[in-house]
């Protein structure tokens, strides 16, 4: 790991999962698809938190069949169903600990099934989401983990989330870390950060905003570029909590959520600091260019994952596939970066998909009260996108910085 360290850029294409050779682990490919390989790295990173198990994850990899329609969601859902049944049997026999851990992993695997579905409008999308929700809540209740489900008032409806109250808070009112997930992961997937924060006496509020997790799948809320109108109600809700010190509020976003953080800091001055993981000035530009190339390919010639990706973007943004590229042009923070005046931590990694974009953001934050840039290099083992697969190292590094600044 290094700070402002010169590097050689993104990794080249590496070996397959069948090989243990290669310069760094980030070169390993669990699947042939960009999206599914990233999800697998994410799942492997959750193992140390008990949200997944390595043997179970590798079993899924071994059973995937690209020639079989719906192989991805069926394989994950089958595993989740088996674990849910096991958890129910343990609960029935008053084995609460075993039940809680099995429910937790089942919840994860149901979510994985929804992250790459060939038909996003399939009834299975809501079915798996409901199972994931129920299993997670069962795990919380049985384990005694200090979290509770909350519904944050938002434009006549609500944003689903969780408030986690730190049992290690040193005073009546403690700092708050608000966590915003990315385009594909869910708020509950940020456990690697909120668990680390709780242990350091920091309360956490997580939520699924429009286009994300439960909010998308249960309420059909779509992404919007003016995210300050999403974060505003979240912070309003935080103000109602007697245990939260609103003078010490940090907001962190992951992947697409990381791109959104400068926007919310520019318009809401209640935020003391933001962490953008990774940094990016114009999310729409890079992604839009890739999707434009996909659109130019005849649909019959596209690799399956490309068609699934295009449909997924259209669904989450609430536009037809042909309008996705123009919609993404709205996701550009160039004109508002001079309004960011709080403290900022910009994260980057040598195996990031948009390597170099974070440093451009760091340089553009000319009015930030204080700013730092941390590069996760190859030796850190947390060099992948949002530290996937290296969440332990990522959490330790980020929290060391946060404790000094919040």
Domain boundary among the residues 145, 179, 207 is at 145
The answer to whether position 406 is within a domain reads yes
What are the angstrom distances between the C-alpha of 333 and each of 39, 87, 177, 345, 372?
Answer: 27, 45, 23, 16, 19
Q: Is the CA virtual torsion 378, 384, 390, 391 positive or negative?
A: positive
Q: What pLDDT sits at residue 47?
A: 97
Same domain, residue pair 160 and 83: no
For residue 297, is it within any domain?
no
Q: Are residues 167 and 231 in the same domain?
A: yes
Residues 216 and 68 in one domain: no
Cα end-to-end span (Å), the chain = 22
Same domain for 268 and 405, yes or no, is: yes
Q: Same domain for 150 and 140? A: no
Of 116, 145, 174, the one marking the end of a domain is: 145
Give the model's pLDDT for residue 289: 84
Q: What is the pLDDT of residue 60?
A: 95
Residue 384 counted as domain residue? yes
Is 375 in the same domain as 227? Answer: yes
Q: Is residue 95 in a domain? A: yes
- Domain extent, residue 141, equals 31-145
Q: Is residue 315 part of a domain?
A: no
Q: Could you tell me if 188 and 100 lie in one domain?
A: no
Domain boundary among 105, 122, 145: 145
Predicted local distance difference test score (pLDDT) of residue 16: 45
Query: Which residues of the chain carry a pLDDT beneath 50?
Result: 2-20
SS3 42: helix
Q: Is 251 helix (H, G, I), strand (E, B) or coil?
A: strand
Asked whether residue 206 is domain-assigned, the answer is yes
Residue with tokens 């290690």: 168
CA angle, corner 201, sides to 197 and 204, nearest 5? 50
4 within some domain: no
195 to each of 18, 43, 276, 395, how far by Cα in Å? Answer: 33, 16, 18, 9
Q: Please check whether residues 181 and 264 belong to one and the same domain.
A: yes
278: cis peptide before it, omega within 30°? Answer: yes
d(CA 337, CA 259): 11
Quote the CA–CA distance of 140 and 146 in Å, as a whole number: 8
- The three-class DSSP label of residue 179 is strand
Tell me, yes or no, whether 129 and 178 share the same domain. Answer: no
Does some domain include residue 135? yes
Are residue 224 and residue 350 in the same domain, yes or no?
Answer: yes
- Assign residue 35 the CATH number of its domain: 1.20.1440.110
Q: What local confidence, expressed as pLDDT, does residue 154 receive? A: 98
Domain count of the fold of the chain: 2
pLDDT value at position 14? Answer: 40
- In this structure, the chain runs to a length of 406
Residues 181 and 270 in one domain: yes
- Rounded to whole angstroms, how far apart are CA atoms 340 and 390? 29
Q: How many helices (H) and strands (E) does the chain have?
A: 14, 8
Task: Tell whether 193 and 251 lie within a shared domain.
Answer: yes
């Amino acid at each position: 790991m290094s700070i402002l360290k010169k590097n050689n850029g993104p990794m080249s294409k590496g070996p397959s999962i069948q090989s243990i050779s290669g310069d760094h682990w980030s070169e390993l490919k669990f699947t042939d698809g960009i999206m599914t390989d990233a999800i697998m790295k994410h799942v492997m990173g959750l193992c140390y938190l008990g949200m997944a198990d390595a043997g179970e994850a590798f079993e899924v990899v071994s059973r995937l069949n690209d020639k079989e329609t719906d192989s991805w969601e069926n394989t994950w859902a089958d595993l989740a169903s088996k674990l849910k049944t096991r958890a129910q049997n343990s609960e029935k026999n008053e084995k609460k600990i075993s039940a809680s851990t099995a429910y937790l992993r089942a919840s994860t695997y149901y979510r994985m099934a929804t992250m790459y579905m060939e038909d996003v409008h399939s009834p299975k999308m809501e079915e798996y989401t409901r199972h994931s929700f129920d299993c997670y809540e069962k795990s919380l209740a049985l384990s005694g983990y200090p979290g509770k489900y909350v519904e944050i008032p938002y434009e006549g409806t609500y944003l689903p989330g969780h408030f986690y109250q730190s049992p290690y808070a040193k005073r009546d009112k403690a700092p708050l870390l608000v966590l915003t997930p990315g385009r594909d992961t869910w708020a509950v997937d940020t456990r690697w950060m909120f668990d680390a924060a709780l242990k350091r006496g920091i309360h956490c509020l997580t939520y699924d905003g429009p286009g994300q997790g439960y909010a998308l799948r249960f309420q059909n809320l779509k992404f919007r570029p003016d995210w300050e109108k999403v974060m505003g109600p979240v912070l309003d809700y935080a103000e109602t909590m007697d245990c939260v010190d609103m003078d010490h509020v940090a907001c962190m976003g992951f992947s697409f959520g990381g791109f959104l953080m400068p926007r919310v800091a520019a318009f809401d001055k209640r935020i003391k600091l933001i962490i953008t993981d990774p940094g990016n000035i114009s999310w729409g530009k890079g992604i839009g260019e890739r999707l434009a190339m996909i659109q130019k390919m005849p649909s019959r010639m596209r690799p399956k994952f490309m068609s699934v990706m295009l449909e997924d973007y259209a669904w989450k943004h609430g536009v037809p596939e042909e309008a996705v590229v123009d919609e993404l042009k709205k996701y550009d923070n160039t004109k508002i970066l001079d309004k960011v005046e709080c403290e900022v931590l910009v994260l980057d990694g040598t195996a990031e998909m948009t390597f170099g974009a974070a440093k451009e953001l760091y340089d553009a934050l000319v009015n930030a009260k204080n700013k730092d840039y941390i590069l996760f290099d190859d030796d850190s083992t947390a060099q992948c996108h949002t530290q996937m697969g290296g969440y332990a190292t990522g959490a330790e590094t980020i929290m060391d910085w946060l404790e000094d600044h919040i």
